[in-house]
């Protein structure tokens, strides 16, 4: 699959930071890292999804300046470009930046500088989806949405939400999502990962989303799969992430192909690659191998992603032509 051009729509920027980069940034910043962040082999240490979210926060705390955000972005886009990825839409979390003392605009400018540098050096294109964190609650989500509309940036193309789906209800975040939507932006919400079909249905009912983050557990309700297929709502599927966090035993058991066969718009993504021992290139290799997909099918998955991207049409058309 090396020659297949790839695109990614669902990856958390703080979650792309490798253990080596986390340690380097912490050392440069004179910051003390919680030793429980790493296992004895140097990889990130976490035991289940909720512990992963805590580990993510500890690792993200090493990112402490605008230039750190530039470095994290550049490092990730470089790794993606080396796997023949041409476009990455990354989630960024102003709440994590704020916790490290970085302003909303500085964090965006850092990421944008990383995108510019990676484009110059590797030809890869990047855009940003600003995300709030569900378990931090609706008030924090509203203030992220407020900053989002107050400080537009040409690389910021959408608004999203990650975090613990078990906390609060999608309708609690309707004001934040509608603020972004009414300002002309597309939105996406994590639903149907550790939440069930109802979480996806509630998202579709209460939030103006154009895509679903994960959505994989729609497979538990054939009527919901049919609805997603009929409405052609793209699913940001992340098989390696779902396997690492224990939702499925392996790629063989992951319903990627079932959702695809049912007519859903499937896209393939890495979520938090160093935490889940994956990369966008590995996801393409593994999903293709397990399902017997040839290069043409994998190219179609890239095109699904590009058609579902939140960037402008001119960029989409240029990228699709390159595939």
How many residues touch ligand ADE under the rule CB under 6 A: the total is 10
Among 5, 6, 12, 179, binds ligand ADE (CB under 6 A): 12
Q: Which of 259, 262, 253 is nearest to 235 (CA)?
A: 259
> How big is the chain by its Cα radius of gyration, in Å?
18
**Residue 190 engages ligand ADE in binding (rule: CB under 6 A):** yes
Chain residue whose CB lies nearest Zn ion = 271
Chain center to CA of 295: 24
Q: Taking CB within 5 to 8 Å according to partner kind, which of ligand ADE, Zn ion, none is near residue 163?
A: ligand ADE
> What CA dihedral angle connects 7, 211, 201 and 160, to 10 degrees?
100
Give ∠ CA 189-169-138 in degrees, rounded to 5: 80
Contact 171, 191 (CB under 8 A): no
Query: Which of Zn ion, ligand ADE, none has residue 89 at its interface (CB below 5 to 8 Å by kind)?
Result: none
Single residue of 68, 95, 271, 283 touching Zn ion by CB under 5 A: 271
When the beta carbons of 65 and 187 are compared against Zn ion, the nearer one is 187
CB of 23 to Zn ion, least distance (A): 23
Residue 79 or 211: the one with the smaller Cβ distance to Zn ion is 211
Report the residue number, 50 or 122, with the smaller CB distance to ligand ADE: 50
Catalytic residue selected from 14, 193, 236, 283: 193
Residue 265 and residue 235 in contact, taking contact as beta carbons nearer than 8 Å: yes
Positions in 59-118 near ligand ADE (CB under 6 A): none
Q: Which is nearer to ligand ADE, 166 or 322 (CB)?
A: 166
Q: Decide whether 68 or 271 has the Cβ nearer to Zn ion.
A: 271
Nearest residue to 55 (alpha-carbon basis) of 63, 64, 45: 45
Q: Could you say which residues in the range 134-173 bind ligand ADE, by CB under 6 A?
A: 162-163
Distance between CA atoms of residues 66 and 155, nearest Å: 16
Member of 272, 273, 287, 309 binding ligand ADE (CB under 6 A): 272
Q: What does the alpha-carbon distance between residue 77 and residue 20 come to, in Å, rounded to a whole number?
A: 16
Active site residue 252: no
Least distance (Å) between residue 304 CB and ligand ADE: 20
| Strands 125-133 and 156-162, sheet pairing | parallel
- Which strands form 125-133's sheet, in the order they lie side by side? 6-12, 85-92, 125-133, 156-162, 186-191, 211-214, 235-237, 266-268
Q: Which residues bind ligand ADE (CB under 6 A)?
A: 12, 15, 56, 162-163, 190, 193, 241, 271-272
Kindly list the catalytic residues: 193
């Amino acid at each position: 699959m090396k020659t297949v051009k790839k695109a990614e729509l669902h990856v958390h920027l703080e979650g792309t930071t490798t253990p080596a980069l986390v340690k380097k940034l912490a050392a440069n910043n004179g910051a003390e890292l919680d030793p429980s962040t790493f296992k004895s082999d140097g990889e990130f240490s976490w035991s289940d999804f909720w512990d992963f979210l805590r580990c993510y926060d500890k690792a993200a705390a090493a990112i402490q300046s605008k230039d750190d955000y530039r470095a994290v972005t550049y490092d990730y886009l470089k790794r993606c470009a080396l796997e023949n990825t041409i476009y990455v839409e990354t989630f960024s979390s102003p709440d994590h930046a704020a916790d490290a003392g970085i302003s909303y605009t500085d964090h965006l400018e850092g990421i944008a500088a990383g995108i510019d540098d990676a484009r110059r050096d590797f030809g890869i294109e990047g855009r940003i989806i600003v995300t709030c964190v569900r378990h931090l609650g609706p008030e924090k989500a509203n203030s992220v949405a407020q900053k989002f509309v107050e400080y537009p940036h040409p690389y910021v193309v959408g608004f999203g939400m990650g975090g613990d789906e078990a906390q609060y209800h999608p309708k609690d975040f309707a004001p934040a999502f509608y603020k972004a939507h009414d300002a002309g932006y597309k939105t996406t919400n994590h639903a149907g990962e550790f939440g069930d079909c109802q979480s996806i249905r509630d998202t579709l009912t209460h939030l103006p989303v154009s895509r679903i983050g994960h959505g994989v557990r729609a497979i538990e309700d054939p009527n919901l799969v049919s609805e997603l297929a009929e409405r052609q709502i793209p699913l940001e599927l992340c098989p390696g992430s779902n396997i690492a966090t224990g939702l499925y035993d392996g790629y063989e058991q992951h319903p990627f192909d079932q959702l695809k066969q049912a007519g859903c718009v499937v896209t393939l993504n890495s979520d938090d690659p160093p935490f889940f021992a994956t990369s966008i290139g590995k996801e393409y290799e593994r999903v293709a191998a397990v399902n017997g997909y040839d290069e043409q099918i994998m190219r179609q998955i890239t095109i699904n992603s590009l058609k579902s991207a939140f960037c402008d049409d001119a960029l989409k058309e240029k990228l699709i032509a390159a595939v």
